[in-house]
Structure 1
Amino acid sequence: MLKYSVIIPVYNVENYLPRCIDSLLAQNYADLEILLIDNGSEDQSGQICEDYANQFANIAAYHIPNKGVGSARNFGLTKSKGEFIYFVDADDYLVGNLFSDVESQLDSQLDLLVFSYYNSIEKNLSEITRSAKILPAEGKKDKSDFIGLFQELWLTDMMYTVWNKIYRREFLEEHQIVFESYDLGEDVRFNLNVFECVHTVSFSQTCYYVYVSGRTGSAMGQYNPNRMNYQLEELGKVDQLMTSWNIHDDQFIDQIKARILMSNIQNISKQKMSLSKKRYYVEVLCRNQEMIALLKKATSPLRPLVRRLLHFKMYLTVIF
């Protein structure tokens, strides 16, 4: 049986895709297949997938109608033959020797491996800055260790994404874990289902992946008015999970709510839109019942000045 299946959803990333695939080939690791799932691209991405598939025996290209990144990953799962599954985003790339380095940790007892990564800000494919995101844990952990570490791990923002994780395929199949179709946050929901069922997890503090932000046309760039509602729904699922583990913690949940609010305000303030529109969007956020409750709390984790400004509807000041 193959060791790894690498699944890459591809959509209109012609400038980034060769770098991504080349970084996988540069790993010099034979026991893996690369599945390129062209998700209805309208640029040359589909042709690039074909070119690589024709040149390398371990690369396969598939072309499917665009029903979102989750459905492309699900399609890849149905085609995969590897013992372990790894998802890569086509505009990012790998560094180091991920597959050979972690191979010895991956056995039939391990459900999940999580590793550290780099955040990179680019302009026109050249890097401006890079910072490392390092996990607070190293080595193998059982379920109770994982539950004990969960809050600290969640606060790193490193548990939402799929591309810094390797999943055992039989584990996903056994628990019927697939991507649900959502505009946003399908990765978070997928991972929460994984965390609920996981028994053995391994952590690595080595960075193997470069997550590129600042790409024009990327889904993370535009502001989605539903973003906060999705995030609060996800947080509700986190709360349910923690309650089922007997580690429910109101202060922790408030801390995440405050982060959700501030990250959405920050996202709005960066958009190219009129000030009145920005103000309107921030006002909508603050009219949410959960946020109203958060702004009223004297013990709120929000910075006191920000909390007062939002509470008194001084939205433009906060945007500035």
Structure 2
Amino acid sequence: MTNLSIIIPHFNSVQALNKLLKTIPDIKDIQIIVIDDNSDMNHKKKLLELIKGCNRQNIEFYNNYSPNKGAGACRNIGLNRSKGKWLLFADSDDYFIDGYLDVIQRYLDSNNDVIFFKPTSIEVDTGNQAERHLAYSKLIDSYLGNHLNSEIYLRYCFSVPWSKLIKTSFVKKNNISFDEVIAANDLMFSTKVGYLMGNFEVSEEIIYCVTRNKGSLTTTVSHKVFDTRLNVFINYNKFLKEHLIKEEFNTLGLSSVGFLISAFKKFGVKKVCLVYFKLRKNKVRLFNPKMCNPIWFMNKTLYVIRKNKSMKRYYNKIE
């Protein structure tokens, strides 16, 4: 029996994909599923060269021929093809840490639905530690430190599929899949996993590294991407409001004011009005009550300023 299926969506990053694949051993116990998301012709040629030169028995390559472009559609193709007892998800420009397989093997016979691991991240051009993992690392630390409400935050704020070992039968039994949208495809998948999981375990060991490249982000966001993120957040808010008790929902302190600020900065006043009325129509709370606390507000503001400053070097402005 195959113990592990690793699902990897790919788009225009053959060199990074090759690096990722080298961190996964060529053994029958592991099924590697790579799904190309309509890469451009130049990268398709490179991918074909990689496939031809890849003398490995445990890698399966597929194309996303569905009408829906994006990592969500690719991951769903991977889920349908998965044969392993457990699932791991990886992005094609990330990689697994040395020794990760020894860590994972300790959990293969467990009765858990999910095992959470602490991630890390790196700046590819400098080799320095990045900040992409920090929010998720803090969730792990908080839970292991038995902090108040840490389980609620772990279940509903660990919004990415990577750095988790998830039992395949649990996902398929509950019909959990990714949203086939162009942005935020993983939020509802992770939320439903968090809500439905029974037994779970949390480890401080690191198995996965997220990468960040200089110029890998753009300062322009289309209306379509923005609206997709907004719609997913509305669905996220609705799901939690319907399934959690009031005290748990309020503990999360969800706020949509960030969408209003982003709409103003990127699109102007008209977009702010449209977003505001859509949020009100869907009964999404605009402000987190914690914003009334001046200390919390100051710390949050300083955090956002520091984050924006640290992110500037990654942006590649499109005129």
Question: Normalization by structure 1: what TM-score?
Answer: 0.72
Structure-1 separation of matches of 2:236 and 2:226? 16
Task: State the match for 2:112 in structure 1.
Answer: 110
Q: Is the 8 A contact 1:38 1:45 kept in 2?
A: no
**Gaps spanning 5+ residues in structure 2: where?**
298-307, 309-319
Q: Deviations over 1:42-89 (max 9, x none)?
A: 144444444444321211212232622222112112222211111111
Question: Residues 239-318 of structure 1: matches in 2 within 5 Å?
Answer: 239-243=241-245, 247-250=247-250, 252-253=251-252, 255-257=253-255, 260-262=256-258, 265=261, 277=267, 281=271, 285=275, 288-289=279-280, 294=286, 299-301=289-291
Q: Does the C-alpha gap of structure 1 residues 50 and 35 become closer, same or farther in structure 2, counting only changes over 3 Å?
A: farther
Structure-2 separation of matches of 1:171 and 1:304? 43
What is the CA distance between 1:127 and its match in structure 2? 3.8
Task: State the match for 2:226 in structure 1.
Answer: 225
Task: State the match for 1:236 in structure 2.
Answer: 238
Letter of the structure 2 residue corresponding to residue 151 of structure 1: I
**Gaps spanning 5+ residues in structure 1: where?**
140-144, 308-318
Task: State the match for 2:38 in structure 1.
Answer: 40
What is the CA distance between 1:206 and its match in structure 2? 1.9
Structure with greater proportional strand content: 1
Letter of the structure 2 residue corresponding to residue 110 of structure 1: N
User: 2:244 aligns to what SS in structure 1?
Assistant: helix
Task: State the match for 1:193 in structure 2.
Answer: 192
Task: State the match for 2:58 in structure 1.
Answer: 58
What is the CA distance between 1:283 and its match in structure 2? 5.9
Q: Does the C-alpha gap of structure 1 residues 264 and 72 become closer, same or farther in structure 2, counting only changes over 3 Å?
A: farther
Q: Is the 8 A contact 1:118 1:207 kept in 2?
A: yes
Q: Is the 8 A contact 2:6 2:90 kept in 1?
A: yes
Q: Deviations over 1:166-199 (max 9, x none)?
A: 2111112222222232333321211222223211
Q: Would you say 1:175 and 2:177 are equivalent positions?
A: no
For these two proteins, the number of residue pairs brought into alignment is: 283
RMSD over aligned Cα atoms? 3.9
What is the CA distance between 1:291 and its match in structure 2? 9.2
Which residue, 93, 99, 102 being the options, matches 1:100? Answer: 102
Question: Residues 153-168 of structure 1: matches in 2 within 5 Å?
Answer: 153=154, 157=157, 159-168=158-167
What is the CA distance between 1:23 and its match in structure 2? 2.7
Task: State the match for 1:142 in structure 2.
Answer: none
Structure-1 separation of matches of 2:203 and 2:220? 29
* Identity %, equivalent residues: 18
Structure-2 separation of matches of 1:35 and 1:215? 28
Structure-2 separation of matches of 1:22 and 1:71? 25
Structure-2 separation of matches of 1:78 and 1:292? 34
Structure-1 separation of matches of 2:12 and 2:272? 31
Task: State the match for 1:150 in structure 2.
Answer: 151
User: 1:205 aligns to what SS in structure 2?
Assistant: strand
Structure-2 separation of matches of 1:21 and 1:280? 46
Letter of the structure 2 residue corresponding to residue 20 of structure 1: L
Task: State the match for 1:31 in structure 2.
Answer: 29
Q: Is the 8 A contact 2:2 2:28 kept in 1?
A: no
Q: Deviations over 1:27-52 (max 9, x none)?
A: x8662121111122114444444444
